Structure 1
């Protein structure tokens, strides 16, 4: 009998990440989640505050995605690594935590000119040389979460550490597109992460899952938003997609969060899957995962 696969999910306590962990546990994998807070606040990601039975089979570890030395030891022996983190809005993270800055302020910042340093590989960031306190954010953006350091740089450095530990596959949860209310840098930094990871770490099978808007009844706020996105997708289809670039993710039909989680675990299991995975292939992978559970 072959040994169980070992999966590490950075962002495993989130809306999508927790379901990736669930699906991997159901396959008998050894699963570790890494996040700043450890285990999820269950009523924030499911319909109950009580931890589900499967959650007791996950190692809920603490680590800072912006400080690679805090999570690097947890990658040892990992077969698969997943990056399931990112931000929609830029903001002074300390100000948000203290209630001193609103999302509106974060949106305003995102559309203003700000320092956009190169990725950490270009800047020569070295975890080993920098010691445990090295932060991948450059000094000019140290006090602010940006698309560059969260959507791009954290993924690149996680991929670098995963490759160094000889992980066989790496999943980066990217996005189907941006949206009219978000600046172009939201999606461009995700595409930059994809490009850098695929070119810099060719030994590792890299998978770039590009989900649309995700919803689930356990998070009621997502239901009407999914309905609106569905209308946008229908309009995009009726018009032949001529407004696709303008609408971005708003023009792509939404998916249940469990569908994407199932697809990600199936993609890791299938050695033929690599590179960008768009919405149609996400659905195909989820269906394949569902069929594999049938008697």
Structure 2
């Protein structure tokens, strides 16, 4: 019996050392001796890293105190965007509460240097700049002014640029030659400078409540019925010369909705959106 016990003791003492290992400094001690109490893990707290919040989209609306521009500013504010506007008169004459939440800049797009401060920190631009007058004046306001804005925004690294242009009205184009030549020149420049982030909206007649001084003109009284009527006469839009005259009007709110979406949604496809496209995108966002 003594011989058996002696052999057992001798065999235990000669176990390979791989069963008895030195533990890491901060780890557990592995042992075959069940009488030994293992030390607990020592867990060190990870260093806290402060991650800044995502940057806020900043939108610059050119002509933000005008009829369409004011709708764009309100739509952008409703979406929680930081909104700035640049126009020749600066701050809007409207006394609506939303106007207090816009950063107003006074400047002239025919003088590109006036854009520098307004473009600071801007991620997207919507231009609602346009006007009527002599052919030379219309080309400058609709064409040259927007060309300057597009080039300045491109140089500043702005991601997306939306231009509110105008639908093709056939014979009317000739009567307002400077207007349409200016618009098309700006469109060509936009597609060149912003091939992946440039969107051109081509609405026809834009209706809504337009403020002229202290007077509010309810253009929707005419525009809304015409929009419904022209939805049923769409085939007439393809007639030579006079066909474009059947282009349906569109609500200013719909134009603003699609413009802001196009300026802030990175998957919104670049290119030209006609009045039917504006109506379609507006319906999808509701």
Relative distance call for 1:240 and 1:275 in structure 2 (3 A) is closer
Superposed counterparts of 1:57-136, under 5 Å: 57-90=101-134, 110=135
Aligned equivalents of 1:164 and 1:173: distance in 2? Answer: 21
Q: Is the 8 A contact 1:215 1:222 kept in 2?
A: yes
**CA-CA distance at 1:227 after TM superposition:** 6.4
Indicate conservation of the 8 Å contact 2:119/2:153, yes or no: yes
Query: Out of 133, 138, 143, which is 1:147 matched to?
Result: 138
Deviation string for 1:8-65 (max 9, x for gaps)?
11100010101111111111111101111112222xxxxxxxx222221111111112
Relative contact order higher in (CA < 8 Å, ≥ 6 apart): 1
Closer, same or farther in 2 for the Cα pair 1:178/1:30, shift >3 Å? Answer: same
CA distance in 1, matches of 2:194, 2:255: 25
Residue 173 (structure 1) aligns with: 164
TM-score by length of 1: 0.69
Counterpart Cα distance in 2 of 1:62 and 1:22? 19
Q: CA RMSD in A?
A: 2.5
Q: Distance in 1 between matches of 2:90 and 2:239?
A: 44
Q: Which runs of structure 2 are paired with 1:158-197 in the superposition (5 Å)? A: 158-178=149-169, 180-181=171-172, 182-197=175-190
Give the whole-Å Cα distance in 1 for the aligned partners of 2:137 and 2:219. 24
Provide the C-alpha distance between the structure 2 equivalents of 1:37 and 1:175, rounded to a whole number of angstroms: 23
CA deviation after TM superposition for structure 1 residue 184, in Å: 3.7
Between 1:270-279 and 1:152-161, the stretch displaced more is 270-279
Whose Rg is larger? 2
Does the 8 Å contact 2:227/2:250 carry over to 1?
A: no
Alignment coverage as a number of residue pairs: 226
- Taking a change above 3 Å as real, the CA distance of residues 239 and 78 of structure 1, as seen in their structure-2 partners, is closer
CA distance in 1, matches of 2:254, 2:96: 19
Equivalent pair of 1:176/1:212 in contact (CA under 8 Å): yes
Which sections of structure 2, spanning at least 5 residues, go unmatched? 1-52, 211-215
Cα 1:217–1:20, aligned 2, differ >3 Å: closer, same or farther?
Answer: closer
Alignment of 1:15-34 (within 5 A): 15-34=67-86
Q: 1:277 matched to which residue of 2?
A: 273
Give me the TM-score of the superposition, normalised by structure 2. 0.71
Q: 1:240 to 1:205 in 2, by over 3 A?
A: closer
Secondary structure, counterpart of 2:258 in structure 1: helix
What is the distance in 1 between the residues matched to 2:225 and 2:180? 21
Deviations 1:144-189 (A, max 9, x none): x623211111111101100111000011111112364533443233
1:53 paired with 2:97, answer yes
Q: CA deviation at 1:202?
A: 4.2
